[in-house]
């Protein structure tokens, strides 16, 4: 199993970089999407653009909440799984309100990841480079995302920070295949 965490700002090239890793792997690809469009026309457009950019041979699975459960069934030897993205998954969790146990979901993901088989790439927005958010929910989101990124950064074999479409390897570096 190979695990990669790709972090970066919005529109930094994270998804494009993950797609290039998947294409270079030569493995069947499963794209695990966490976005939900709701009533947001811009988000529907963004999701449609992402779908159009993926090769038609890739399998897309939409799972906004039960990420660990989906990974348990999808991550297999000889398969490349892209999770896009963890920050939307965290948002979905937080928006469930009091009934959501976000800490338990994060814990389950972090415990599960080392046991997964196959190649897994996790994409997430780095939100810790900006100003402190003004609202309690936004601060909780940033705190939760930052803690998740730190835990995943310690677990993943490779950690990449994307800036201006350029990968900066924080851990692991490129292998002989450019992955």
What is the tens place of the pLDDT at every residue in 128-142?
888 888 899 999 999
- What end-to-end distance do the CA atoms of the chain give, in Å? 14
What is the tens place of the pLDDT at every residue in 54-102?
999 999 999 999 999 999 999 999 999 999 999 999 999 999 887 678 9
Local confidence band at 122 (pLDDT 50, 70, 90 cut-offs): very high
Cα dihedral 18/24/25/30 (nearest 10): 50
Q: What is the pLDDT of residue 46?
A: 86
Residue 36 vs residues 115, 135, 168, 170: alpha-carbon distances, Å: 28, 22, 29, 30
> Does 174 score more than 80 pLDDT?
no
Q: What is the pLDDT of residue 169?
A: 96
> In degrees, to the nearest 5, what angle opens at C-alpha 156 toward C-alphas 154 and 157?
110
Q: Which of 50, 69, 108, 149 is catalytic?
A: 50
Any idea which residue has 């989101």 for tokens?
141
Domains and their CATH numbers in the chain = 2-171 (3.40.50.300)
Is 50 designated active site? yes
Whether pTM exceeds 0.75: yes
């Amino acid at each position: 199993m190979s695990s990669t965490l790709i972090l970066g700002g919005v529109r930094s090239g994270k998804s494009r970089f993950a797609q290039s890793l998947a294409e270079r792997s030569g493995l069947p690809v499963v794209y695990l999407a966490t976005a939900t469009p709701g009533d947001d026309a811009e988000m529907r457009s963004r999701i449609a653009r992402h779908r159009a950019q993926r090769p038609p041979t890739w399998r897309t699975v939409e799972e906004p909440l039960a990420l660990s459960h989906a990974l348990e069934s999808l991550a297999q030897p000889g398969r490349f799984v892209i999770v896009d993205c963890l920050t939307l998954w965290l948002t979905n969790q937080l928006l469930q309100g009091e009934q959501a146990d976000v800490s338990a979901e994060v814990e389950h993901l972090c415990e599960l990841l080392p046991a997964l088989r196959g190649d897994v790439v996790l994409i997430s927005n780095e939100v810790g480079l900006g100003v402190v958010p003004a609202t309690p929910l936004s601060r909780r989101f940033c705190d939760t995302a930052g803690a998740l990124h730190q835990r995943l950064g310690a677990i993943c074999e490779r950690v990449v920070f994307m800036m201006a479409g350029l990968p900066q390897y924080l851990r692991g570096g490129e292998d002989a295949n450019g992955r």
